[in-house]
Chains A and B, each alone.
Chain A
Amino acid sequence: MSPAAPTDDRFAPWDADACAGIVRGLAGLEGPLLPVLHAVAAAFGCVPPEATAVIAEGLNLTRAEVHGVISFYHDFKPRPPGRRVVRLCRAEACQAMGGEASAAALLADLAIDWGGTTADGAITVEAVYCLGLCAVAPAALIDGEPVGRLDAARLAQVVNT
């Protein structure tokens, strides 16, 4: 294992049979594709390109249809994120409280752009447009945990601890 790609024990390695099992388990739902994609993303940390054919086969769809859906939604990404995922709100209420300046400082500090992952794979920063935390703006979800009333210093602190 190269140092640039450290062992990732959060997610299962790609496994076509496991993916097919996920599809089978949810195929009975009405309109199963989004629940399937969420379940695949939860298992593998992303929706790997290899999953398209497996899902298409299992749901009797064309690969083009499945690819069209995967590529439409911001949440379904082809690669797993960094070990810590920072979903930082860029919408108006957070803008009004100086969110963009804090965000810019964080990105500069980590030397990445929106959607990027630090070179050591530690941190991914994603833009989101509203977390419903507008009354404690600026806000973010860090590994799913909400944080609010952020300024540049508090943001750097919560991201790095």
Chain B
Amino acid sequence: MTRVYVPKDAAALAVGADAVARAFAEAGCEVVRTGSRGLFWLEPLVEVETADGRIAYGPVAAAGVAAILAGDAVSLGRIEDHPWLAGQTRITFGRCGVVDPLVPPAFEGLAKAREIGPAATIETIAASGLRGRGGAGFPVGVKWKTVAEAPAARRYVVCNADEGDSGTFADRMLMEGDPFLLIEGMAIAGLAVGASKGFIYSRSEYPHANATTAAALEIAARAGLLGAFEIELRVGAGAYVCGEETALLESLEGKRGQVRPKPPLPAHRGLFGQPTAINNVLSLAAAPWILVHGGEAYADYGLGRSRGTLPIQLAGNVARPGLHEVPFGLTLGEIVEGIGGGAASGRPVKAVQCGGPLGAYFPPSMFDTPYDYEAFAARDGLIGHGGIVVFDDTVDMAAQARFALEFCGLESCGKCTPCRLGAQRGVETMDKIRAGVAVAANLALIEDLCETLKFGSLCALGGFTPYPVMSAIRHFPEDFAPRSRPAAE
């Protein structure tokens, strides 16, 4: 019987993977559902097992299944040899898209952590140079050590899976394609910091990721794979700001998702007032590999103070959208033009937004920026969670700046005045600019407002909204000039 691998990643389902899987099953094949390899322009991407390896076809429609089985379809060759995959360093995503996500792996990283004990586990993570992949880039080893040393009767591990940034989908892919990697990473964190309970805080916008993760948690619990460590999956309720770690903790406690002032840090007083290691999905999922291969092996990848690999997510108007895991250090241009292949529309790329809705817009003239935390910060940008959204030359950057302010207002938790009220005033001011009313004076007002947002907000929602707004104004001034607006608008 021919074995065929068909993704059940939500993005593959969105373009018809279920119908393709059914067609293979009806043709008598053994169908294995996997996560996605991350080559989304080729989804639904199916792989047929042969003596020469897994031969890929894509994008496949249900009607094309017969031709594939008859050997009449043009294949992409062995999937591992595809240049887009061959150029990657798949550490975190090594199994995603390859394996059945609900078959538990060996948990070698957890076994190693048990063998060497909590202190050496933290040392190994510290030696790897792993920094928080949620966006803030805080050293994970330092965070775990702080939690471990904080005196407490009870400690928690919390996984921030509230992946709300547009253009990011790595957490979702991993939870759908390799949930046991995250579960293993959380168990390692629990062992390291002395916690017996972990929470995964995910999003209601991710029903498929939640279902797969819940199923994996049940398998792990029933088989006793995690020892005394217990993990509970919680789902948010459509509040972007709950991706901010202190708002997330409030939400887990059953409150409004309003941010807390820091200090105290969550590592000292986090969930229910107890020391809490709160980490992003990708930070936790990096831990098993680091334990198995050693901290130095991970630190060998990367650039400057950005060590290891980052799963870059290319999305929007890009010819080859997908997940590309590589060591830090490629330039933005190499990623957008080389890996992404430029705009999907075939038109020139005008702007890319890096790091989600609170990230800066970069013009092609800044494509020489190396992809690492410090290089981006030096150019008033951020890597964030590794998302890059590409826009072609039809984009109106004044509309994008307005959207950033509108989004800030929509999602503001209401705690800080500049964010709650300032965002709304910013939208109104941007409307005046777009209508050509007192443009110079109103742009000065926006700049002033952005200063206030930046320094007068407790968290990144208000504090970082100036990034997309001011980068749009600085790098694309022509879109804010009155003459650029069509008279009819």
Contact = CB atoms under 8 A, between A and B. Distances in A.
B166 A93 contact: yes
Contacts of B14: 133, 136, 139, 146-149
Interface string B85-104: 00000000000000000000
B125 interface: no
Nearest to A96: B316
B389 A132 contact: no
Contacts of B15: 136, 148-149
Contacts of A65: 255
A118 interface: no
Interface string A142-159: 001111110000000000
Given A68-B256, A130-B164, A137 B316 contact: yes
B205 A131 contact: yes
Contacts of B391: 96
Interface in A13-39: 29-35, 37-38
B238 interface: yes
Interface stretch (B113-121, B246-254, B426-434, B446-454): B246-254
A113 to B, nearest CB: 15
Contacts of A89: 166
B279 interface: no
Contact of B389 (A93, A131, A136, A139): A93
A96 B388 CA distance: 12
Interface residues of A, number: 45
B395 interface: yes
Choose among A32, A129, A130 the residue with the greatest number of B CB atoms under 10 Å from its CB.
Answer: A130
Contacts of B240: 129
Contacts of B315: 93, 96, 134-135, 137
A133 B169 contact: yes
Looking at chain B's contact residues, is the secondary structure mostly helix, strand, loop, or mixed? mixed
Contact of B237 (A32, A76, A148): A76
Contact of B166 (A38, A59, A74, A94): A94
A144 B210 CA distance: 12
A72 B239 contact: yes
Nearest to B353: A92
Contacts of B167: 91-93, 130, 134
Given A69-B256, A135-B313, A136-B43, A31 B237 contact: no
B330 interface: no
B367 interface: no
A87 B163 CA distance: 17
Contacts of A149: 14-15
B284 interface: no
A112 interface: no
A9 to B, nearest CB: 22
Contacts of B251: 34
Contacts of A75: 204, 237-238
B149 to A, nearest CB: 24
A132 B10 contact: yes
Contacts of A74: 237-239
B272 interface: yes
Contact of B317 (A35, A38, A72, A96): A96
Contacts of B323: 135
Contact of A146 (B11, B235, B387, B395): B11
A69 B207 contact: no
Choose among A29, A89, A139, A146 the residue with the greatest number of B CB atoms under 10 Å from its CB.
Answer: A146
Contacts of A131: 10, 205-206
B129 interface: no
A94 to B, nearest CB: 7
Given A92-B316, A129-B166, A141 B237 contact: no
A141 B208 CA distance: 11
A114 to B, nearest CB: 11
Contacts of A53: none
Contacts of B166: 89, 91-94, 129-130, 134
Interface string B251-274: 111111110000000000000100
Contacts of A68: 256
A95 B458 CA distance: 29
A54 to B, nearest CB: 16
Nearest to A65: B255
A73 to B, nearest CB: 4
Nearest to B10: A146
A130 B240 CA distance: 10
B56 interface: no
A134 B205 contact: no
Contacts of B252: 31, 34
Contacts of A31: 252-254, 272
Choose among A30, A72, A131 the residue with the greatest number of B CB atoms under 10 Å from its CB.
Answer: A72
Interface of A: 29-35, 37-38, 59, 65, 68-69, 72-76, 87, 89, 91-97, 128-137, 139, 141, 144-149
Given A92-B389, A129-B410, 4 more contacts: A91-B167, A96-B317, A135-B315, A148-B14
28 contacts: A34-B235, A38-B204, A59-B254, A68-B256, A72-B257, A73-B257, A76-B237, A91-B357, A92-B400, A93-B315, A95-B403, A96-B316, A96-B389, A129-B240, A129-B357, A131-B205, A132-B163, A132-B169, A132-B172, A132-B173, A134-B166, A134-B168, A134-B387, A135-B321, A141-B207, A145-B13, A147-B14, A148-B11
Interface of B: 10-11, 13-15, 40-41, 43, 163-169, 171-173, 197, 204-209, 232, 234-240, 251-258, 272, 313-317, 321-323, 344, 353, 357, 387, 389-392, 395, 400, 403, 407, 410-411, 413
